Every structure is written in C-alpha cells, then in structure tokens.
Structure 1
Amino acid sequence: MAWLTGLLCVLTLFQPAVARADNPIVQTIYTADPAPLVHDGRVYLYTGHDEDGSTWFTMKEWRVYSSTDMVNWTDHGSPLNLATFSWASANAWAGQVIERGGKFYWYVPVTNRATGRMAIGVAVADSPTGPFRDALGRPLVENGEIDPTVFVDDDGQAYLYWGNPNLWYVRLNSDMVSYSGGPTQIPLTTQGFGTRNGNPDRPTLFEEAPWVYQRDGLYYMVFAAQCCSEFIAYSTAPGPTGPWTYRGTIMPTQGSSFTNHPGVIDYRGNSYFFYHNGALPGGGGFTRSVAVEQFSYRADGGFPTINMTTTGAPQVGTLDPYVRQEAETIAWGSGVETEASNEGGMNVGWIENGDWIRVEGAAFGAGARSLDARVASATSGGRMEIRLDAPGGTLVGTCEVPATGGWQNWTTVSCPVSGATGTHDVYFRYTGGSGNLFNVNWWRFSA
C-alpha cells in the first residue's frame, strides 16, 4: 500500500490541534460492515474484509480490531472465516458479536452450500478476539436473507433481527444458539420505515443492515435505506418488536461506496457512529473502509445529521508508551501490512524504505530514555527511526534492526531516546535498502 504515502504526507500538514482518529480507521486492508462491541473497558470492532481489486462483494473472512482511545486501533487478525462453517460455501458478509455469560457469539450471513441460499450461522468463542468455532454445525436460521443484528434486552430476552428485502426477528433462548417460536416478519409500513420513491415493489426505505439497540427505554432500529446509493436512517419503538415509527436520516448518501452499514455504541461517556465508505485509494463499492464519528443525541433521543469526515473521533485519553504496545496498534500507517505472528497475535510486515506508522497521543511525561522493539528480518534489516508529530519530525532515536535469519526469527533490539517528553504523536519511520526490510512485533519505551 505504498500509494498511501503521498496522500498521507499531505494530510499530515493539516493535523488538528486535538488528537483525533483519521478516517478510515484501518488502512492496511479494505474493511466493511462495522459491528462495534464494548467489553471490559475496550471497544472491539468486528468487520468484513473486501479483497483487493474486488469487482463484487468478494469476502472470505471477518476481522477484529480494538481500541481504548478510539484513535489507536490494534489489529487482532481474522479469528473467523468461511472455513469455520463446514456447510458454508461463500459470502462472509455483515455480522455482529454479542457477549453473554462470558462467551462471545458472532452471528454472520453466509451461503449454505447445500441449498445455495443465504443463511445465518453462529460462531462462539471464550474471548472477544477468538478463536471462534461453529456453535451448531448448521445454520441457526435460513430464509435467504442477510445482515443479522442482535441484542439482549434489560429483562434478559435476546433478539436476533435480519433481512433484505424483508425484516425478520426471532426470540433467542438464553443459550444464544437456539430460539423459541418461528421467525416473525416485521411489517414494513411507510409509517414505520419511511416512503421510498420509484419502487412499487419496495414501498418503504428499509433496504438492509439493521442495527437494533435500546437506550433510555427507547428502542432504535438503524438501517441502510433505499438503494442505490444507500443512506442511513432510523426508526424507534416503545418495545423491541415495535410498533416502529420512522424518525428520519442519520447519514445522508455520500462517499464513494453505494452501500453503507451502521454500528452505534456508547463508550466512556460519548456516543459513536460507525459506517463504511470507499475512501482509501483504490476504494469503491466493493473495496470499502470502516470509519467512525463521535456524536451527541438530541434532547428527545433523536439522532443529529452525521456526515462522513476524514478527521474522525477525538482521542479519549492518551496512550501509555511505557507498557508493551503491539506494533499493529496503529492510528495511521503508510505502506505497511499485518500478518499472524508465530509468537501469537499479529505483527507488522512488508516494511519497505520510507514506510511509517503513527500512534497518537503518547504520554511521555518527564521523558523516555530508551526503546525496546521486537523485530525480525530475513534480509539485511534496516533502521527504525522514532520521530515526533510528523514523518519528518524531530528525530528522538534510531534503532538498528539486524538480520535475524527469518521473518519470524525474533530478537529484541534497544536504542537510546532523547527529547521525547510531554504528549506527542509518535511516528515509527522505517529506512534501509530495497525490498522488504524487517518485521516488528511490539515495542515499549522506558522512562
């Protein structure tokens, strides 16, 4: 992804005074269909993965990222893919994860190999980052429709909704992998879901991608509206099954993707709206990218109009540079990609001369004196420059990375640091010869 370098050098010149996320929030791959989950003080973001160069919704796996500050996101890789479901053949499309009883349930739509229809499967894990396993060995429910969303109401009753072109729900049992009764179709009335123009077969605005939750006793159905291009709209109800009342547009049609998909959470006293667009170079309707905005509800519980931005959400708190940080914790990266590490988790790889990674809002306090980094190189290695506030900013240290005899043959290198005080964005700028230089697994400053 070296094509990002020129674009990001321009964006760097216009950084706002307050540390903010840059949208899209993942730059190493194309991501779509965001599904955020708040758990144990952290935001976990579950996404689909659009393959490079796709000319259709070519998707084979799901990905997980997490953050504690809404700016620096850690890549946890792909703990779920089509091969997890022995009965699935294609289309790892939009899903959602929920936690209950210490387990994490991921509801996803895939093509059932036996029937050729879209079906909803469910995977389960003991950790929000997986690995996930097929909970049933068969579809949970199947009627050819897609885009599941799930939530547990205050009384403990769980609901699973899904649909395109219709809208359905079932009442999940407490085991989260079975349900009582049959699927119930929600009436798509114009009062409940707005009026669509020019399509007598689909008179309402509801298209797909429902996202259901409850806040202050009001139930929200946020959804992708109309087609195509889609915008994001919402309806509300006094209960989880309706009756629904259409409330209007949240995010107007914009961006370079003709689809969109909402995800809404509250975290650390703020409200956040996730969506996708085609904003990365090479992006479009089949090569999408996830983004986020912070917003505030109106006094009546309604949404304001939320527009797509490149600046994203403000940072919540700061990053601690004196604890081990994964190298794949990234606010923005230029040229790099990630891969599974033989030491567990992920590492940053495919590093070439001039590539860099930025982490935002590192709180150095009185100052750092050294940096340790876990590195590996199958070639001759290179250098990791530590710069402040810009790719060409103040140089406060340089770590030499040696050849280690393999891309997963890890060693820890150290280098002195001088001048890193206060709170700064940190740029790890990689230099050396031609081709791939080295991999980085983690880093940690010493005070």
Structure 2
Amino acid sequence: MAALALAFAFAAAALSPVADPSPSPARADNPIIQTVYTADPAPLVHNDRVYLYTGHDEDGSTTFDMRDWRVWSSGDMVNWTDHGSPLSLETFSWAGANAWAGQAIERDGKFYWYVPVSERATGQLAIGVAVADSPTGPFRDALGHPLVVNGEIDPSVFIDDDGQAYLYWGNPNLWYVKLNADMISYSGAVTQVPLTTEGFGARPGSTERPTLYEEGPWVYKRGSLYYNVFAAQCCQEFIAYSTAPTATGPWTYRGTVMPAQGNAFTNHAGVIDFKGNSYFFYHNGALPGGGGFTRSVAVEQFTYNADGTIPQMNMTTAGAPQVGTLNPYVRQEAETIAWANGVETEWTAAGGMNVSWIENGDSIKVKGAAFGTGARQFTARVASATSGGNIELRVDGPNGPVVGTCTVSGTGGWQTWADVSCPVSGATGTRDLYLTFTGGSGYLFNVDWWRFDAAAGGSGGDLQAVGAGKCLNVPNASTQPGVQVQILDCSDGPGQQWTHSATGELSVYSGDSRLCLDAWDNGTANGTQAVTWSCHGGTNQQWNVNADGTITGVQSGLCLDVSGASTANGALVHLWTCHGGTNQRWSLQ
C-alpha cells in the first residue's frame, strides 16, 4: 500500500485528516470499487483490457490492516469486474504481515506481482515476487524467499524499450535494481537514488527529510521521457512527479499532480494509457466508513500538456467517462459493476466470483448497456438458501422505468445454482441498467451472471417463413424439451416470440419456460429435427442469421428448413443442406 514506514504510520495515525469535500455516494461513479475498501491502485493494460491490482483495507480498520491483494478488470473504464483475491500473505510461507502496495507486470506470457510484506522471522519489511500464467492468477511465490530485503516498501516495476527491467521502491528513501530477464532475480547492486531538492522538490522547513519524496513511486516512460509519480510529504500526502532522460535519472522535480484531499492522509498513484486516453488512478476515503485506513480506489481521465508535463487535477465523483459500451447480450458476470449499493462478492464453489449478501433494497448499476433495437428477455443464474426475492430491472436511474422483473425462488443452498428468466419490454438504446433486489428480511439470494436476449429483428420477435408466410412456432406452447418446432399462422402469442442473442442462441418463452432452438441429438445430417431444449450454450444451439434470410446451425452448417417446402399449418421444421429456396428463408419481424 502507500503505507508509510512504521514510524511515520504511527505519527500519521495521530493526525486528524485534512478537511475535504468528500464525494456523495448517491451521485458518484467514483470511487470505482464499492464492495470492499481498496487502496494503492496498480493498473496494467493487457489484451485491450485494464487489469487493476489493489490492496485491501479490512472493514473497520484503525491501522493498516491488510492481509491480501485484489484484482479487477474493465474494458470500458467504468464497469469493473471483480476477480477476487488471487494473492495473499498466505501465498508467501515466509511472510508475517502487511500486504501493502505492489505492482504487476507481464513478460513473455507470465505475470509478475511485486509486493512488500514483513518477514515472519525478523519482522523486517521485504519485497516478494509472485508469478501467474494469467493476469487474474492464481499467483504463486516465485522464489520461496524475498527478492530484496532492506526494510522499505512500495515496489514499482518497469521494462524499458531495450528490454531492461527495473524495480524501484522505498520509504523514506528511493532505491532501484536492474532485474534480470527472468524477472525474479537481479544483477548489480541495490542502488539508492539521490533525493536532491532539484530532483524531488524541497520540503519546506525540514532538515531530516529535505525533499518532498515520501513513498509509492510509479515509474514509466512516455516517448523519450521517464516519469516518476510519487506520494509526497507526510501527512496528508499529495501526489507529485519528476522526470528524467534515463530510467535512472537525473531526476527533475515537475510539481503537483493531485493536491492533498480526499479524507485519507495517504495517496498512491498509477498512470496508464488505454484506448487512446490517459488515466490517473489514486485512492481516497470517500466511501461510507472511509478514512485513512479504509480507503477506496478512484480514477480520472486526463490529457498531457503539449510539452509532456502532467496537468494538476482534483478528485471528482464523476470519474472517467465510459469508453464504448457494454454488450448486454453476452454473458456478463454479476460482479461486473459500475456502482454497487449494499452487496458484496465471494468465491463460487465452482470457481470465479458471485454477488452475495443481497438484502432488500440493494442494487447494482451497470453503465452504458447497448440494448440497440430492444431486449425481449433477461436470464440470471441465481442461488438461494432462503425463499429468494426479485430482481427488478430498471433503466436510466435507480428509480427509473422498470423494464422487467424476475422472480427468484429458493434453490436449496447459497451455492446451488439455477437459471431464472423473465420477459423484458422497453430496454432499447444505450442505457444505464440497474438491478434492484427486493424481497423479505435477511439475505435473499446470490447472483453469478446475467444476460439479455435481443428481440429477433427488433420489437416483434416473430420468425416468419418467407415461403409460407407463417411463423416458427412451438406446438401448443409446450414447455417440454425435445418438441419439434413447426410453422403456424402468426399470432404473436406464446411459443412465437423468438430472440437471437449475441452468442447465437435462438430462444423463446413458451409458457413460463425459456427454451432454445436445438439441433436434435447434436445432429449434422439432413433431416435432423429442429427442437426446443433447455438452453446450455452448446454449438448445436448456436445459429447464424444471415443476410440472405437463411438461418444456419453453427455446428452443422445446415439451414433451418420447412419440410417438403410445405405452406400448411403444422408443417415441421428440420435442418437441410442450404439451397436458397423460400422454405429456407426467414424474416425476422
């Protein structure tokens, strides 16, 4: 974390935080994580996604009580997916306490996370390194012992254009080593950076610490210029920075990036470029119960000045604007959240995370969901050891229009999962989506993931056979799996409202059951029956709706075909080699 060296931590704890207009949770999209207290952001861009590595302040902390690290990710800078805690003090058999501020980096397909901890045997602060094959872990101790031990904290890692990697760290001093290509060893001596007033700013009135540098270095390169962004001056810290012509200096102090503010006496920065924009991550104490030991990560978008200097910026409640939109027609993890009220997250029994501890009135906001011409239905995977409750789907605001309500019944356990679905009406365009949870007292249910299905061809939902002028129909609106579909006069009734999802499913509400169009028994031969079946996402339930009006099975490549080119009510539908006839062309109404 942007933890102070212990002597400074005790001194800071005795101080009252500087007054600051804290963000109002009711209006905020910043801080970006609300389900736990987070600190010391370390962003990493990988495969067109931002991975955010943070510390974790325990609830109710009155000192730096930190036992694990957390990972989040986002493709749009506003909706953040919780990947849980893939690294903790328990990962390092030699560590005793203090899961403080670290940074992760990728090299040659592996991810290295450098973190400060206290050695169990000596109590001395040391830098450890963990490694993983994925940016979300799980991480394992790469060495079985510390990489560096000199009693100081806050590692920052950087790989230069020539492939040379550097590790920087320090409070109250600043140090670096040159890492070897394996990223878990180094060559040469541990080098101390001279903290001259020219390099890191003069600290007014101080003889013991004459420069502003305090802790939390963040080193990176932009163009030909090297930047060191750091927490400055105890206590309350602000964020300052220096620049240099090389990775090792000499450093020139450039001024303030973010003044002291935010209801926390520490701060810690991370800076990245992502999708053509620049972002500055930091932490404050803005959430309810927040303060110097219960902090929360936030982010601002910024633009460098023409000469490469960083503009001064303030903390905001708005945060960064969304980059693009969120696709509601693919499976979205329930723990993908722009703003959460009341809920928490936990590991699922099968791996991954779910939203949990849901009570009446809790909610989740998902920003910028691109519904397009409209959604017809919503499905969520849920579990409840009680009698469940409801998921109200609202758009535009927490009290906005209700576009659907799903009833969640008890499933027999908090990790006993079932799918629930409900019709949706009025979810069009790009809207902020709110999942509001209602029910009785106590905990209601857990949510693992959710997904909308788009209306076929827009608002109508009918799939009309061009040759017959009749609609694809589930006989008698049956809810039983394995029923072969047919064509029937269009009635817009049960069994004829089809949706085509972004994952390729063609599904229908028949009675109260959501069923998917399915190639019977995974068939790939002419004459394979087209039936309805419980949705499972297999390739025999994935369909391409083509520009020429044909619908082809992803698994078989065969066309959805009205048997015998019949135009009569009740004519059965199967799969057949595509030939372009009118009995193989469908109009999405």
Greater Cα offset, 192-201 or 174-183: 192-201
Q: Deviations over 1:45-72 (max 9, x none)?
A: 0000000111110000000000000000
Deviation at 1:251, TM superposition (A): 0.3
SS at match of 1:28: coil
Question: Could you list the per-position Cα deviations for residues 114-143 of structure 1 after superposition, in whole angstroms to 9, with x for gaps in the alignment?
Answer: 221100000000000000000000000000
Alignment equivalent of 1:309, drawn from 312, 316, 319:
316
Q: 1:103 aligns with which of 105, 110, 118?
A: 110
Q: Quick one: distance in 1 between partners of 2:296 and 2:394?
A: 28
The CA RMSD over aligned residues, in Å, is 0.7
Amino acid at match of 1:217: S
Alignment of 1:77-116 (within 5 A): 77-116=84-123
Q: Which residue of 2 aligns with 1:181?
A: 188
Structure-1 residue corresponding to 2:138? 131
- The reply on whether 1:190 has 2:180 as its aligned counterpart is no
Q: Does 1:367 align with 2:374?
A: yes
Task: For 1:48-67, list aligned pairs within 5 A.
Answer: 48-67=55-74
SS in 2 for 1:192: helix
2:394 matches 1:387: yes
Match of 2:263 in 1: 256
Partner of 1:416: 423
What pairs up with 1:266-305 in 2 under 5 angstroms? Answer: 266-305=273-312
Q: CA deviation at 1:145?
A: 0.2
Gapped regions of structure 2 (runs ≥ 5): 1-23, 455-589
2: distance between equivalents of 1:336 and 1:114? 38
State the 1:199 CA deviation: 2.1
Aligned length: 431
Distance in 2, matches of 1:34 and 1:197, equals 28
* Cα distance in structure 2, aligned partners of 1:61 and 1:261: 17
Q: Deviations over 1:288-325 (max 9, x none)?
A: 00000000000110000110000000000000000000
Per the alignment, in what secondary structure is the counterpart of residue 226 of structure 2? strand
SS of equivalent residue, structure 2 residue 198? helix
What SS is found at the alignment partner of 2:368?
A: strand
Q: How does 1:161-176 map to 2 (within 5 A)?
A: 161-176=168-183
- Equivalents in 2 of 1:298, 1:66: separation in Å? 28
Q: Which structure would you say has the larger RCO, counting Cα contacts within 8 Å and 6 or more residues apart?
A: 1
**Alpha-carbon deviations, 1:227-285, whole Å to 9, x = none?**
00000000000000000000000001111000000000000000000000000011000
Question: Is residue 36 of structure 2 the alignment partner of residue 29 of structure 1?
Answer: yes
Letter in 2 for 1:129: T
SS in 2 for 1:369: strand
Q: Deviations over 1:305-354 (max 9, x none)?
A: 11000000000000000000000000001010000011321000000011
Stretch of structure 1 that moved more, 43-52 or 384-393: 384-393
Match of 2:357 in 1: 350
Q: Which amino acid aligns with 1:275?
A: Y
Distance 2:292 2:105 in 1: 27
User: Pick from 363, 369, 376: which aligns with 2:383?
Assistant: 376
Name the residue aligned to 2:234: 227
Please give the secondary structure, in 2, of the residue aligned with 1:308.
coil
Structure 1 distance, partners of 2:359, 2:59, is: 20
The whole-number CA distance in structure 2 between the counterparts of 1:342 and 1:83 is 20
> 1-side partners of 2:284 and 2:79: how far apart?
20
Q: Map of 1:11-30 to 2, 5 A cutoff?
A: 11=27, 22-30=29-37
Identity %: 77
Distance between the aligned counterparts of 1:216 and 1:440, measured in 2?
45
C-alpha separation in 2, matches of 1:184 and 1:130: 31
Q: What's the secondary structure of 1:127's corresponding residue? A: coil
Match of 2:330 in 1: 323
Letter aligned with residue 43 of structure 2: P
Cα displacement (A) at 1:153: 0.2
Residues 144-163 of structure 1 mapped to structure 2, 5 A cutoff? 144-163=151-170
How far apart are the structure 2 equivalents of 1:114 and 1:211? 29
* Deviation string, structure 1 residues 62-86 (Cα, Å, up to 9, x no partner): 0000000000000000000000000
* Amino acid paired to 1:228: C
Q: 2:38 and 2:197 mapped to 1: Cα distance?
A: 32
- Cα distance, 1:198 vs structure 2: 2.5
User: Partner residue of 1:213?
Assistant: 220
Shift of 1:392: 1.5
* TM-score between the two structures when normalised by the length of structure 1: 0.96
Helix, strand or coil: the match of 2:50? strand
**Where do 4+ consecutive residues of structure 1 move more than 3 Å?**
none
Equivalent of residue 208 in structure 2, options 201, 207, 214 = 201
- Tell me what 1:429 maps to: 436
Are 2:45 and 1:38 aligned?
yes
Counterpart position of 2:513:
none
* SS of structure 1 residue aligned to 2:67: strand
- Cα distance in 1 for partners of 2:189, 2:304 equals 35
